[in-house]
Amino acid sequence: MRWVTANPGRRGSLLLGAAPLLVLALAYIIAAAARHADNPADKILPLPGAMASAMAGLLFEPDQLSGQYLFWADTIASLWRLGAGLGIATLSALLVGLALGALPPVRSTLGPLVTGIAVIPPVALLPILFIVFGLGETAKVALIVIGVAPFMIRDVAGHIGALPREQVVKALTLGANSWGVILRVALPQALPRLFEGLRLSLGPAWVFLISAEAIAADVGLGYRIFLVRRYLAMDVIIPYVAWIALLAVVMDLALSRGSRRLFGWAHLGAR
């Protein structure tokens, strides 16, 4: 057996994949235990028990001030913002990207604008968004949209623009008009790419969400992390970060599974 041809198999892959996670968890617990042996009141590396009890308060007890279950309120607020931002970005990527990719006159007209917007660091626009949209939900959703939509638009447009010219000619000889080419040739081939673009945009979208929440919010996962930072509350921050990671992984898996199920043809070569 050579390393480059080794195939660990399904169970082997699972075990191998889990090993680094376990090692990391174990290393953390050893380090935390060592610190607690020196100083039982250590806050930097809380023990799992401390994290559990801190989280239990947020999970199961309503907040005295607002009467909300903070963890769930944070999760719902963040997911709503993320969903709205990614939804708008995806829709605009589909519409604009398709038009840009399939219609050369539209590409000439809007291409430079989209490129121009894409090169602006989105966080630099955050003050403008806060001034224009106020400190409410709109500004946060807008930041996510501005952050990820240009990438997705350019990705879809590039993919559609790179479809073999033969396909368009063939469709025309089959009696299609421009709309027919967009609807039956470009759109179906754009969708799997859109899913892929959305998957790759999840990471940046979370960055923009947490940034916006850190700066101005009164609820949300990012807001909570930056709030409890003031009290050095690692027992809340670490579980929150883990929860964000879990949500992101689930979304990523759901998108890749969904793409495989909906667009099986696009994954035939990669099996």
Partner 1 sequence: MLSLRNVWVEYGDKVVLERISLEIAEKSFVSIIGPSGAGKSSLLRVILGQEQPTRGRITLDGGLLPTECGPDRGVVFQRYSVFPHLTVLGNTLLGLEFAASPLTARLFGSARRAAVAEAEAMLEQVGLADSRHLYPAQMSGGMQQRLAIAQALIKRPRILLLDEPFGALDPGIRGDMHALITRLWREHGLTIIMVTHDIKEAFGLGTRVLTLDKRRHDPHAPQRYGAGVVYDLELTRKQAEKQAAEAADEALGITIDTKVNN
Residues in touch with partner 1 (CB under 8 A): 164, 166-167, 169-177, 179-180, 183-185, 188-189, 263-266, 268-269
Residues near 266 by beta carbon (within 8 Å), at least 6 away in sequence: 189, 192, 259
Least CB distance from residue 170 to partner 1, whole Å? 6
Of the pair 5, 173, the CB lying nearest partner 1 is at: 173
Radius of gyration of the chain (CA): 23
Least CB distance from residue 176 to partner 1, whole Å? 5
Of the pair 24, 169, the CB lying nearest partner 1 is at: 169
**Which single residue is written with the structure tokens 């930072």?**
229
Of the pair 38, 166, the CB lying nearest partner 1 is at: 166
**248 vs 20, 49, 255, CA distance in Å?**
19, 25, 11
Tell me which amino acid residue 137 is: E
Least CB distance from residue 164 to partner 1, whole Å? 4
Least CB distance from residue 95 to partner 1, whole Å? 18
Of the pair 20, 175, the CB lying nearest partner 1 is at: 175
